Structure 1
Amino acid sequence: MPTLSYRGTCALITGASAGLGEEFARQWAARGADVVLVARRLDRLETLAAELHEEYGVTATAIAADLAEPGAGAGLRDELGARGIAVQTLINNAGFGSHGAFLTQDPEQISRMIQLNVCAVADLTRAFLPSLAADGRGALVTVASTAAYQPTPAMAVYGATKAFVLSLTEAIAYETRGTGLRVLAVSPGPVETEFFDVVGTRDAVVGHVATPAAVVTAARRALERPRTPPSVVAGLGNRLSAVAAQLAPRRFVLATTGRALKA
């Protein structure tokens, strides 16, 4: 049973059509939060919105948007404002990765990945942060990755984008201390979602593959601590690996990661 009610708040969740985004929506709705579901696939969002409304009685709004388009964050803020929807919690989950040597990567795919994983996160966060901090009841959650803790040969751009997400979120957590806003970056390892279908290979799988429910539950529990940490790594093995990556010589970490990712 839910231990903390989010009733009276609204959570905006990006990448909500599947995987972690869908699980964030389910867990927040189960605790009474209204949800705004954002992704490109409107049919999936509408199906999920109907399920959440029927099961939990919350208001679930589906919005199709391509967050990789410049200015999408501010545009989404303005659209919700016009609809009279106030957001207390922002969950930046949308993102994707690719596998292969940087030299062989499609330049357009690289640009799109940076736009979605980096620019959209910064854009959305900047657009909604003033109201989140002023309200004081909600949270800012970003989905980083264990890839953020070391260079990732064969996933060079993806790892770099997640390092940005982790660093940005931790800095914002410090800057907004005292406002009542809870700020958290969650870094999962491999998760059983559509991520690897998009990547196109299982060579990017390193370590135990977690379920979306396990990752989102870890994030929610960290968020609900009396003192929310600025970041958390989901899974004991992943936490140990992240610590080891920070303590071991950089060249050793680079070589080990390169072998693990089959660079």
Structure 2
Amino acid sequence: MQLTTKEVKQKLTEITSDKDPFLEECKMDSRKGVQQLVGKWYKKNEQEKLLQQQYYHMSSYEKSAHDKGFHLIAGVDEVGRGPLAGPVVAAAVILNEDCYLPGLTDSKKLSAAMRERFYEQIRENAQAIGIGIISPKMIDEINIFEATKLAMKNAIKELTIQPNYLLLDAMKLDVPISQESIIKGDAKSVSIAASSVIAKVTRDRIMLELAKEFPEYGFEKHMGYGTKLHLEALKTHGVTVHHRKSFAPVKALVY
């Protein structure tokens, strides 16, 4: 008895190989609806293969470190270096060696919804996660570059398992741990990409809370960056304790 188009659709969700006999049967089916389902299956399968290739390519730095005998590898990244308000946040993530997170990449390339989804998946697939948060006041005292390094060091200290190898996004830290600095590392290493997502989601949540406290600044729209809306709000409402007074546009309003 011939399956209905709905039954074909359901059965295709269970097919994982393009050599599956059922797929071949469907290709011989003359119904337009079935042919559309077959086309969608091939398209989805191709996308999954590309994501798989991307993930394994982004795991090359981790694999190289494993081959050298390092098995507690932490990716470390930060977000919030450029904003006029809010903290700089760093994260350190030690992923399970067998974890598979296809589609994970630099947090800036992901939508907010995808970052939230990966945030939960990373938490489920990590051996340890550490977060370092440096306030605007401290940023003003020690400068943003030093604050970024301090956030990263604090994130590493917060890990419940101490790593024996670090993968860093274009940074070097004076810590007694073997490390590798990778330019654009958040798009080249799954561990760094994971830390960039954790840091980004953490910081965005902080800024959304600040938006409730200071609704006139529109933090939920720009996350503290120097947009036209933010600059106009600064001129109208002044500087808050959450602004970085050493950053030029804010400094001009303070002194």
Q: Please give the TM-score of this superposition, normalised by the length of structure 1.
A: 0.26
Q: Please give the TM-score of this superposition, normalised by the length of structure 2.
A: 0.27
- Larger C-alpha radius of gyration, 1 or 2? 2
